[in-house]
């Protein structure tokens, strides 16, 4: 073992002497060395740069969390985390909350729900926002729906999150631990959507709520279409129901971009759609298929460049631009898609005007696909 690793370990060991971790023996030097090397390989860059400046307990949090979250020895990671919590004076409030929340999740995954609840409670006491909703989920897994509802209500008082609203709405909608109240369930789901619009469960639930209860079929179509774009294939039978056939949301999604109140808001919507509905794509980043999305300065024109001109590459590029703007994948844009692809393959250029957006695409002499969509 090198001298610098020994020095770090002795510093850490001085913190731990005489302590047993969950009735386990002390972390051995070779275990510490293995954890440190794993952290150096898989840890976040900023954490690596600041590691030596942190207290021994904070170092234990970094080592334990890297092991637990990056595919390392989870049991050893838990021991580092438990060890760190024995010295709260060396941790800030965020680290205390984070560590308790992480341990709660680990015990939850292992089915040890009582232990998970205890750690989530400690994390909640440290004002770690996610812990409150996580505690509610554990109460549901324990089939204690009354306590789960009370926990979620407490979450809304502390720091409302999309997950707390979503799960509370589900309890009311299904009558779990409380009198069945679909209207209140829909209310809480709507609040969840306001907090975060790109959760497939929230959108599926709202789609069903409007389909079955409010009978607002346009709203049902909107949320079901978004749920499908977010990867929830279970919505397909719902989109085939007679009440929503012939109702499309493509114009609504297109209008959200056109009517955005300012450039920053429009850019934010586009970035979120790229990330959540188009499989983790980002502006100004070339993906594995050689496609790059960029925006004009005022965010009123979206550009897409793509290398190569195989039929499949052309089709994938057109699909992504249309899905980015119109989202509703089962709307009439599917007909536009086929026409545009055929024209690009055969004529090297195509165009479309649909719901206030003008599309122009061509294949350059160098074989690059150049596609722009601008507000008409």
Question: What separation, in Å, do the N-terminal and C-terminal C-alpha atoms of the chain show?
Answer: 67
Q: pLDDT tens digits, the chain, 376 residues: what are they?
A: 333 333 344 344 444 433 333 334 468 899 999 999 999 999 999 999 999 999 999 999 999 999 999 999 999 999 999 999 999 999 999 999 999 999 999 999 999 999 999 999 999 999 999 999 999 999 999 999 999 999 999 999 999 999 999 999 999 999 999 999 999 999 999 999 999 999 999 999 999 999 999 999 999 999 999 999 999 999 999 999 999 999 999 999 999 999 999 999 999 999 999 999 998 999 999 998 899 999 999 999 999 999 877 899 999 999 999 999 999 999 999 999 999 999 999 999 999 999 999 999 999 988 899 999 999 8
Select from 180, 124, 191, 112 the least CA-distant residue to 151: 124
Q: What is the pLDDT of residue 26?
A: 67
Half-sphere exposure in the Cβ direction for 25 (13 Å, CA): 4
Select from 373, 372, 363 the least CA-distant residue to 309: 363
């Amino acid at each position: 073992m090198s001298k610098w690793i020994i020095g770090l370990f002795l510093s850490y060991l001085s913190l731990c002497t005489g302590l047993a971790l969950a009735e386990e023996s002390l972390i051995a030097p070779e275990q510490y060395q293995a954890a440190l090397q794993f952290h150096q390989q898989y840890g976040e860059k900023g954490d690596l740069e600041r590691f030596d400046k942190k207290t021994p307990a904070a170092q234990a949090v970094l080592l334990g969390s890297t092991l637990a979250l990056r595919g390392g020895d989870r049991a050893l990671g838990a021991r580092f985390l438990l060890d760190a919590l024995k010295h709260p004076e060396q941790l800030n409030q965020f680290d205390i909350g984070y560590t308790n929340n992480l341990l709660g999740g680990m015990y939850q995954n292992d089915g040890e729900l009582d232990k998970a609840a205890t750690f989530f409670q400690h994390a909640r006491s440290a004002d770690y926002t996610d812990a409150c909703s996580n505690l509610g989920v554990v109460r549901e897994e324990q089939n204690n729906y009354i306590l789960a509802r009370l926990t979620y209500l407490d979450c809304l008082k502390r720091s409302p999150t999309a997950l707390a609203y979503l799960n509370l709405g589900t309890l009311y909608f299904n009558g779990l631990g409380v009198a069945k109240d679909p209207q209140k369930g829909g209310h809480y789901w709507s609040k969840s959507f306001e907090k975060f619009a790109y959760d497939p469960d929230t959108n599926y639930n709202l789609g069903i709520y409007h389909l079955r209860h409010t009978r607002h079929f346009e709203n049902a179509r909107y949320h079901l279409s978004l749920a499908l774009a977010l990867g929830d294939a279970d919505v397909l039978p719902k989109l085939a129901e007679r009440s929503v056939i012939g109702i499309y949301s493509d114009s609504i999604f297109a209008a959200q971009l056109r009517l955005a109140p300012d450039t920053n808001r429009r850019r934010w919507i586009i970035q979120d759609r790229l990330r959540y509905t188009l499989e983790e794509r980002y502006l100004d980043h070339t993906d594995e298929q050689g496609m790059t999305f960029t925006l004009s300065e005022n965010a009123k024109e979206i550009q897409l460049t793509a290398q190569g001109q195989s039929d499949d590459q052309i089709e994938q590029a057109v699909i992504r631009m249309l899905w980015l703007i119109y989202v509703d994948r089962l709307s009439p844009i599917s007909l536009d898609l086929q026409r545009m692809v055929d024209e690009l393959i055969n004529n090297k250029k195509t165009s479309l005007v649909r719901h206030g957006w003008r599309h122009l695409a061509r294949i350059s002499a160098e074989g690059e696909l150049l596609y722009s969509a601008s507000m008409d």
